[in-house]
Amino acid sequence: MTDQPTSSPAGSPFDDLPVTVQLAEPLAKHTWLGVGGVSQYFCEPGSVDALSTVVSRCNETGVKLRVIGGGSNVLVPSEGVESMVVRLSAPPFCGVEVDGQSVSVGAGAKLVHLVSAAVQAGLSGLEDLVGVPGTVGGGLVGNAAAHGCNLGQRVYSVTVMLPDGSTEDRVRDDIAFASGWSSLDGVIVLAARFDLDEDDPERLTKRMQRQWIVERSEQPSGTRSVAMMFKDPVGTTAESLIAQAGCRDLCIGGASIYPSCTNYVVAEAGCPSSDVQELVEKVRGVVREKLGVELAPRICVW
């Protein structure tokens, strides 16, 4: 596979669909880490119907389908992926609408847009998540969390697309959410509705601004080529365990630990993805050996 994307390839299984399909799309530019190879197919459908044609065609032809959100939690292998990668960036997937105490949002919307729309409308329940990067879809799939609040807690319903291209609404009781995980795997998250509490917009704005500052101080600054390595184990943080195990200065090739936020891996430009993956495994091994704790990976390796 080459690094230069080409569009609408004659002879691809998607030729006759109302969607522009790129061949060999470099995925590094769609991820925070900025490393990794190309996807065999890539598209940004303009509507739910157009997405449905792509999804069902993948199902019929056996082409694996993946979704990329904000790319803040994905490591793409250097050799690329033999899949269709879909990005929900078109306006029909990115809207945020407030109706009374409910907020309906497309899966492609940035999480920060959902949080700020809720706060502006005087609705509380999501403001602690203001500093979490990525989209609502990625946040729901991995149950994004910060400061004791997680996205799953406030879900009323989620609209998903199944592998045959049909859509379905799932209510809160039909979805399981746990630390860094939800049962929304194997489907495409299209949209969600959150039911929130009424509150004073001014008080909420101040709280959101405070959380933003706190979250930023806990994240690497000065580089976007980072990813969070592990979930926090119950009762402690991955960051403190990694520091305690003496992993702060570990590096493999172009991958290193961000010194003041030790649960983040930093990738040098052009670094092979395997350096990142090996470093994550190395840290996991050292923590296991020295502290007897098995850290669960947060980063999704494709």
Give the footprint of ligand FAD on this chain (CB under 6 A).
Answer: 32, 66-74, 88, 107, 132-135, 137-139, 141-142, 144-146, 188-189, 219, 226-228, 300
Nearest to ligand FAD of 189, 295 (CB atom): 189
Separation between Cα atoms, residue 13 and residue 194, nearest integer Å: 37
How do 38-43 and 81-87 pair as beta strands? parallel
Strand bridging mode 264-267 / 226-228: antiparallel
Shorter beta-carbon distance to ligand FAD: residue 144 or 287: 144
- Comparing C-alpha atoms, which of 167, 145, 166 is closest to residue 154? 145
DSSP string, 196-252: -EE--HHHHHHHHHHHHHHHHHTS--S-S-EEE-BPPPTTS-HHHHHHHTT-TT-EE
Q: What is the identity of the amino acid at 71?
A: G
Nearest to 104 by CA among 31, 69, 154, 138: 154
Are 71 and 299 contacting, i.e. CB atoms less than 8 angstroms apart?
A: no
Quick one: 61 or 221, whose CB is closer to ligand FAD? 221
Contact 287, 245 (CB under 8 A): yes
Closest to ligand FAD by CB, 139 vs 272, is 139
3-state secondary structure string, 112-176? HHHHHHHHHCCEECCHHHCCCCCEHHHHHHCCCEECCEEHHHHEEEEEEECCCCCEEEEEHHHCC
